[in-house]
Amino acid sequence: MASSSLDLSSTELSLIDCGVSSLLDLPLQSHLLSLNLHSNYIQRLENLNRLTLLRHLDLSSNQIAKIEGLDSLKSLRTLNLSCNLICVVEGLFQLRSLVKLNLSFNQIDDVSGFKLISGSGFKLSHIELQGNRIRSAVRLAHSLSQCSNLQDLVLSQEGSSNPVCHQTGYRSDLLSRLPQLKSLDGRDQYGHISVTEDIIEDIPGLDEFIEYLDSTSTTDTVQETPVMDLITPKIDEAMEQFKRRCQTSYDTTTTTSDVDRSPSQRNIQQPSDNPDYTHRLEQLENQISQLLNKNQQVYVAESGRPTDKEKRSVVRSAKLQAERGM
């Protein structure tokens, strides 16, 4: 692949279905924050040691058989390895910033590796494992019992599951063994549809928006100007990126079979037809709106406009609430 056709100054690199067969062929820059290599022919995780700032990594629908080579990704928050050939959960020990892990539609039957990323020092709160070969609720619960921040676990979704999901009392058994869970297979302990509340932290571009506010001014003086409607083009742009990212996520995690499937065989479902998808977007929009409205009195500050410091405070408050699952 000719690197001259790539924008090497960008913090995002997306090469979806581009025939990439090796990570060694890519000019991966140390300032990358997001890397999307969905639907290629990559067989091995390598050449990632310089990406210490990387926050989002998508290697779904490739031919990866082993989780390895991730030790340098200290800032990684989301990892998508769905639709690969992975059999064992391993190689995640250094990912202390990881919040969301998607290992759906692999061949996983050994989850003991989760024991190595347990404790309060790890942020992992969301795990997707549907479409694998997990058979024992006891072993799964034992491996996840010390993942104290785990809130959302998916083993069965939209007809794709694991053998353990067909066992009598599997839900009640897992929920009793994993009391930290708020959601199992998209439903809470009472069987009601649950929607996780930490969506804001996963919006690509939100951190850049904060940096933009940091760079606009160094003064915190309230200027006496008429109150105006709050215009947030950066947040609007981030929302559009989130919607497009959801589109990719749904495309990459749908499949024709629970276990026996090829990474290239996908049964695409439009996310706009999925009520959970719509609910997630509505909740995200409402959450941002409520946070901004709640701080409106700070914005106007006696008929003035918000200072840059106050804007940053609101956005950081949104991220903090998201990370705490509030």
d(CA 251, CA 222) in angstroms, rounded, equals 47
Cα–Cα separations (whole angstroms), residue 68 to 76, 86, 91, 92: 14, 11, 5, 8
Domain locations along the chain: 199-323
* Reported pTM: 0.68
Highest mean pLDDT among 93-97, 233-237, 268-272: 93-97
Task: Classify residue 171 by its DSSP letter.
Answer: H
State the pLDDT at residue 119. Answer: 87
Residue 227 has pLDDT above 50, yes or no: no
State the pLDDT at residue 61. Answer: 98
CB atoms within 10 A of CB 192: 9
- Which tens digit of pLDDT belongs to each residue from 119-151? 889 999 999 999 999 999 999 999 999 999 999
DSSP-assigned states of every residue in 11-30: SEEE-TTS----GGGS---T
Task: Classify residue 263 by its DSSP letter.
Answer: T
State the pLDDT at residue 269. Answer: 41
